[in-house]
Chain A
Amino acid sequence: MMSMIERTIYANTQKIKDPTLRGLAESAARLVLENWAYLLFVIVLWRFPYIVADLTDTEVQPRRPTGDSVFWQSEMARALALTCLAMSYNLLFGFSGVISFGHALFFGAGGYVTFIVLNEYDASYQQGALIVVIGITLILALFSRMNVRQLLIIALIGVLLTLLLMPGEGTLSFYQAIGLAVVASIAVSLISGVVTLRLRGIYFAMFTLALAEMFWVLAKSGTFRDITGAEDGLGFRDILPESFNPTPTFDGSRLDMYRLTVVFFVIVFIAIRRYLNSPVGRVMIAIRENEERARTIGYNTFYYKVLTMTFAGVIATLSGLLFVIWATDKRVHPEALSLKYTVDPLLNSLIGGIGTLTGPVIATLGLSLGETYLRNETFTLDTGLFGILTVWQLAVVLVVGLVWWLFRRPLQTGLRRVVDMVRRDTARAATFASGTHGHWALILGYYGLVVLLLLAVGLVIGSEIAHNLEFKGDVYNVSDLWELFLGILFVVVVMALPHGIVGTWNTFWANRRVRRLEQSAQQSAPKGNNSAS
C-alpha cells in the first residue's frame, strides 16, 4: 500500500522538468514519505485544542467558566514538558548508557534558577560574574593542561555570556533569566562530569543522586524561605511576560503558549534525532555498546559523555521551566527537585523503550494523560472488569502469576526438593521399621505433624489477611493506586520487557522481516549450499 503511494509520488516528481525544482520536490517527497507518521502526530498535537473542543462541545478559549478544551490543553502541555524530560533522560541513559539518578536537579533548576534570578537580580551581579569568569580562567590556567588559545576562548565566552545575560543596569529580562538557568545547568553538568564521569558509571549515579537530594533539601528548608519560598515554592504570576502566561482569561496568549510548547517539543525531538545521527551521537552509541573498545579506537569517551550529559541537562532544564509555566498554581515547588522527577522519566523511558526515539514519547503521553483521564474514577474491589473478573480477582491472579513467574526456578527446585525429601524419608523409615508396617505410622506421624504446623501458620496468616480484607467494600480512587500500578509496571518491564514497548515492537518486526528474507533467499537459492549462515 505504502510502497505503491511512494512509487506514484516519486514517479510524479520525475515529471518535473526544471532540475532544481525536481531536486527540491524529490527531497520534499522523501521528507514527507519517510516521516509521515511524525508529521501526522504533530498535526494532531497542533489541532489538539480544537479536536477536544469539538469532541466535548466546549470552546477553545472561553472567558469563564473554562471548559474541557482548556483543561486538556494544560494537561497536554504539561505532558509534553514531561515528555521532553523523558526524552532527555533517554538520551543520557538509553543512548549513552550514562546512569544519572539526579535528573530532577535539572528539571527543578528550570523553574528555580529562572525565578530566583528574576527576583534577586541587581546590577552588581555583573561584576561578580566577571570576577568569577576571570577566577575560573585562572584556575584552569593553573590546574589544567589547556593552552593559551583554549583559555582565551573560554574567557571570551564567559565575558560575552555575562554581558549578554546580565545587564549592568536595570532589571533582568525573562529571556536573560532563562539564559542564566541554561548556563547554570551547563555548569552543573560540567562539574558532575569532571568529578565522576572518568570513573565507573556507578559513581556518576551516586554523585548525581546525592547532588539532587542536597538541592532538594535546601529548597525545602525554611532557612532560605526568603529566596526559595521553602515548601510554598516560588510563584511568578506577575513576573511572567504576557506572551508566556497561559492563564485562561488572557486573549490569545494561552493558545500561543500551547503552540509554543508543541514547537518546543518538536524542536527537542528533532534535535535529539539529529544529535544521534551526527558523528558525535554515533560515537556515543559506540560508547554505550563497549566503552573500552571506543577508547581503544582513540575516542576521548569522557568528552563525549560530558557533551551528551550537558545537552540532556539543558533540555531537562527548559522542560522544567515549561512545566512550571503550565502548572495550575504557577509556582515551582521543591517537589520539582525530588526523586519523583528522576524516577518518572526513568520509568517512562523504560516502559516506552530505552534507546528508542519514540518510546519515551508514547509512554509519557500515554501514562500522564491516562492518569488524568482516570484520576477521578472510583472502584471497589467488587467492581467487575470486562465482565469476567472483579478487581479483587484480577489482583489475586496478577499477584500469584507474578510470584510464580518471578520465582518459578526457586519454586520448582523447592518443590523437587520436597518431593525428594519425602521419598528419602519414606525409604529411611521403611528400613528403620521394616516388616512391621510401623513405618507408615512413622511417616504419617512425622508428616502429619509438619502439615498440621503448616496449617496452623497458614490459618493465622489467612485469618489475618481475611481480617484486613474488611476494606473490601471500600471505594478507591484510581489516583490512590496509580503509583502502585506504576511500581508494578516498572518491575514487570525491567524484568520481562527490557526493550520496552517500542523496542519490543521493533525487534518483533525486524525478526519477522529477517525470517521472511531468509525464507525467500532459501527458496530462490539453488539447493545444497545453504549451510553457510
Chain B
Amino acid sequence: MLTYFANLSPQHRRSWGLVVAYVALLLAVSYVDFGYNTAGQTAFRGILLGMLVFMVASGLSLIFGLLDVLNFAQGAFLLIGAYVGYDVYTSLDAGTTVRFLAAIVSGVVFVGVLGAIMETGLIRPLYDRPVFQIVLTFGLAAVLLDLVERYYGPDPKQPLDPPGFLDNNFTLFDQSLSYYRLFIIFLGLTMMVGVFLLLNRTRIGIIIRAGVQDSEMVQALGINVRLIFTLVFVLGAALAALGGIALVPYQGATLEMGNQFLILAIVVIVIGGMGSYEGTAIASIVVGLTRAVAEQLSLEHFDAPVLAETSILLLMIVVLLVQPSGLFGREE
C-alpha cells in the first residue's frame, strides 16, 4: 500500500489530491447544510450507492480496457440479475437465508452464462467491426429490457425482506438501519479487494493487465487471449448481476434501474479514466457521494429530488472539459 503511494505518477498524485479535496468539500457542505446526523446519513447512503455502482462500473471498465468494447448491456445484466434473483427469492420454499443465497447463485450464474453466450456468439465475430460491437451491445440492452418487461411485467417489484441473518437493525447517525445495508457495503468492498487481488496476484490478472495495453502482443506470446476476453466479459456480467441481486432487498426491482445504474457507471468510468481499475473504484465512491448529497440538497431546498439527476451529468461535463482522459486514465 505504501509503495503504491510512493510509486504514484505526478498526475495520479494530483488526482488523489483532487478527489480528497472534493470529497471533503461535499462532506463539509452537507455538514453545514443538513447538520451532523443528516449529513452522516447522506454520506452513508452515498457510500452504499457507490458500492452498488462499482459493481456495474468495474465490469464496464474491465471489459472496455481489455476488449475495447463499451458494453452498454451492462445495465441490462444488472436488471436481469435483479429480476432472476427476485424470482428465485420469492418462489423457493425455504428459509430466507437459503433463498437469498440461492438467488445470488442463480442470478449470477444465469447472467454469467448469458454473458458468455453474448461474447462468444455475438461480440466475437465483430472484432473487425468495432462500431457494430457498440451498436450491438446498445441494441441488445434494449432487447433484453423488452424481454424482461414481457416476462415479468411492467410493474415495479417491491423490496423484499433481507435474509434472516441480516434482518436486524442498528442505529447510525440517529437513524435505524437494517444490517443489510452494511452487508451491501461489505459485499462491494469484498469485490473491490477481490478483483484487485485477481488483477495483481494471479497469472490471469497479469494477462488481463497486459492485454489491456496490447492484446495482440499477449496473443503472440502464445496465450489464448480470446478465452481471457470471454472470461472478463463473464466476470463483468456476473459482477453487475450480483449488484442487481444485492439491490432487491434494498430497493426492489424496477425496469428503470438497469439504465439508471448504467448511466452512473458511465459517469464513473469517465471520471475515473476508462480502463483504470483504481480510477473506477475511487470514482464509484465519488459519484455515489455526489449523487446522495445532491439528492439531499435538492430535497431540502427545492423539494425536488429528481434534480439530483443533473448533478451527475454536470460532474461528467466538468471532468470531460477539464481532464478528458479521466482522473486516473492514461493521456490519449
Contact = CB atoms under 8 A, between A and B. Distances in A.
Interface of A: 97, 99, 101, 195-196, 198-203, 205-207, 209-211, 213-214, 217-218, 221, 223-224, 339-340, 343, 346-347, 350, 403, 406-407, 410, 480, 483-484, 487, 490-491, 494-495, 498
Contacts of B274: 202
Contact of B150 (A97, A200, A484): A484
Nearest to B305: A223
A213 B259 contact: yes
A495 B303 CA distance: 48
B324 interface: yes
Interface string B113-152: 0000000111001100101101110111011011100100
A223 B313 contact: no
A308 to B, nearest CB: 16
Contacts of A207: 316, 320
Contacts of B317: 195
Nearest to B146: A483
B63 to A, nearest CB: 12
14 contacts: A99-B134, A195-B317, A202-B70, A206-B70, A209-B72, A218-B306, A218-B309, A223-B303, A223-B307, A339-B145, A339-B259, A490-B139, A490-B143, A494-B139
Contacts of B126: 494-495
B125 A495 contact: yes
A407 B320 contact: no
B132 A494 contact: yes
The 6 A-B pairs of least Cβ separation, nearest first, read A487-B143, A406-B121, A221-B306, A223-B304, A343-B142, A483-B146
A211 B259 CA distance: 12
Given A199-B324, A213-B263, A407 B120 contact: yes
Contacts of B146: 483-484, 487
Interface of B: 70, 72, 120-122, 125-126, 129, 131-132, 134-136, 138-140, 142-143, 145-147, 150, 259-260, 263, 266-267, 270, 274, 303-307, 309-310, 312-313, 316-317, 320-321, 324, 332
A209 B316 CA distance: 12
A355 to B, nearest CB: 11
Interface SS majority for chain A: helix
Nearest to A347: B139
A99 B129 CA distance: 14
A339 B313 CA distance: 17
A483 B154 CA distance: 15
A224 B306 CA distance: 9
Contacts of A199: 320, 324
Given A99-B134, A407-B120, A484-B147, A498 B129 contact: yes
B263 A210 contact: yes
Given A202-B274, A494-B132, 20 more contacts: A101-B72, A101-B138, A195-B320, A196-B320, A202-B70, A207-B316, A210-B312, A210-B313, A214-B310, A214-B312, A217-B309, A218-B309, A218-B310, A223-B305, A346-B138, A350-B135, A410-B120, A483-B143, A494-B126, A495-B126
